[in-house]
Chain A
Amino acid sequence: MTTSQNHTEADTTVDARGATCPGPLMDLISEIRAVDTGTVIALLSDAEKSPTEVQEWADESGNEVLDIADKGDHYRIHVTKR
């Protein structure tokens, strides 16, 4: 996992900017329910705890965080559904 700029191509994007925790994580989980295994999802979030929460949930659920990029005013987190 990297925490710098990333260049991962996402299959779908969940824009959760503006939502407070745990809204972005719940939006991500909702999207993971809907997509096929192997799909790469980009989660955009400006909630401070999203990187931690998404990583913890991914570890628990068996999904994979590919990278987390700090874009200044928001995070872009790539997750693959496993």
Chain B
Amino acid sequence: MTEHIAIVGGGTGGTVLANTLAEKLDAELAAGEVEITLFNDDEDHVYKPVWLYVAFGQREPADGRRPLREVVDDRVTIRQDYVVDVDYERKKLELVDAIDPAPYDKLVVATGAQLEPERVPGLAEAGHHFYSEEGAQALRDGLLGMDGGHIVLSVVGTPHMCPAAPLEFTFMIDDWLRERGRREAFDITYTYPIMRVHGNEHIAEWADPRLRERDIGIETMFNAEAVDPEAQTITSMEGTELDYDLLVAIPPHTGSDFIESAGLGDGGWVDVDKHTLEAVGFDDVYAIGDAAKTGVPKAGSAAHYQANVVAQRLASELRGQPATAVYGGKTICFIETGMDNATFVEFDYERPPEPSEPTRAMHWSKLAYNESYWLTARGLL
């Protein structure tokens, strides 16, 4: 009898998982004992970090997008559809377009995170961002249309994808303007919802003096309550109001509606055992990447490492062996500190991040990684 592995979501986690499983289960796939199906509602695989560079005119949107079929192993079936619900008793997935539900024996949820700027009045109309292809292009045009003024980078929602990205953008815009000899014509303000400049204390301690030495204004404990697009102001729950000429926001994020409708977790995030990545309270269901509540950042590297762990666990389970692979929280992040310098952090559940002194070599390492990402997605790197 064929064992069905269903993966919902074709981002970094889902794609790495599908490709790693295809390699691990080569013999079982050839014998027809296993079938791997990847469900995704987009025909493309998207590498979102490219959009940060699109905002500065350094990459084109097409650089972050490739057909999913090109990056997924041929042994994996791709179904372009949207999974709306799970029948746990019959072990079937209900789909938007398909008449018949799809069977599964093992289910992995890798549905990522989505943007919800409309949660803050005025934000969708007025707030630029670099968290989507269209958003990054609009931000690029907005930046190019400015001769001077006040740029406000406001971290409105947490958790959000890539916790380093707001700092990266702030360091990059400062450097970008200095390179063009225009920094004196601009004020830059960075806002963060809690009492320090980053959620992680170690990153905050590292970043705070670097923001200040570049004359970047800091507003902590700033939880955006409303944006007035006409008056060009953003106000916080704590009573602070900022005028802006260009507002760059990290919009509120939520998980997939599917997770709510399938009863897998509140807010679109799946409660998981942070070591095994099994969904709490459900048999044969895993969650990885942004969708999983593990406590680690919503970062592609975390999704990648989690996918490797789940691939090992699934292979063991299918072979009747004890599943021993566990996720230790490993995450790595490059952090751009300007247009040609970057640092790097590696951390896990036990060890905090320790940013090193930024170097040009690390910046080029990040750019090299961006180029080689497509090998990562294919499970080769």
Contacts and interface: CB of A to CB of B under 8 A. Distances in A.
A23 B274 CA distance: 15
A22 B193 CA distance: 10
A70 B250 CA distance: 34
A53 B195 contact: yes
A20 B238 CA distance: 23
Interface residues of B, number: 17
A62 B295 CA distance: 28
A62 B239 contact: yes
Interface string A21-44: 111011001001100000000000
Given A22-B199, A53-B194, 11 more contacts: A19-B295, A20-B295, A26-B158, A26-B194, A29-B223, A32-B237, A57-B194, A57-B221, A60-B221, A61-B223, A61-B239
Interface in B215-244: 221, 223, 225, 237-239
Contact of A60 (B158, B199, B238): B238
B159 interface: yes
B366 interface: no
A77 B140 CA distance: 44
Given A29-B193, A53-B194, A57-B195, A23 B239 contact: no
Interface of B: 119, 158-159, 193-195, 199, 201, 221, 223, 225, 237-239, 274, 293, 295
10 contacts: A21-B201, A22-B158, A26-B159, A26-B199, A29-B223, A56-B195, A60-B238, A61-B223, A61-B238, A62-B238
A65 B193 CA distance: 18
A16 to B, nearest CB: 10
Nearest to B267: A30
Tell me whether chain B's interface is mostly helix, strand or loop, or mixed. loop
Q: Which 9 A-B pairs have the closest CB atoms?
A: A61-B238, A22-B194, A60-B221, A26-B158, A20-B295, A60-B238, A22-B199, A61-B237, A56-B195
Contacts of B223: 29, 33, 61
A56 B220 CA distance: 12
A80 to B, nearest CB: 15
B47 to A, nearest CB: 27
A33 B293 contact: no
B195 A21 contact: no
A33 B225 CA distance: 8
A53 B193 CA distance: 11
A13 to B, nearest CB: 12
Given A53-B195, A57-B195, A60-B221, A23 B237 contact: no
A61 B235 CA distance: 12
Nearest to A49: B201
A23 B159 contact: yes
Contacts of B238: 60-62
Instruction: Tell me which of B193, B194, B293 has the highest count of chain A C-beta atoms within 10 A of its own C-beta.
Output: B194
Nearest to B201: A21
Contacts of A29: 193, 223, 237
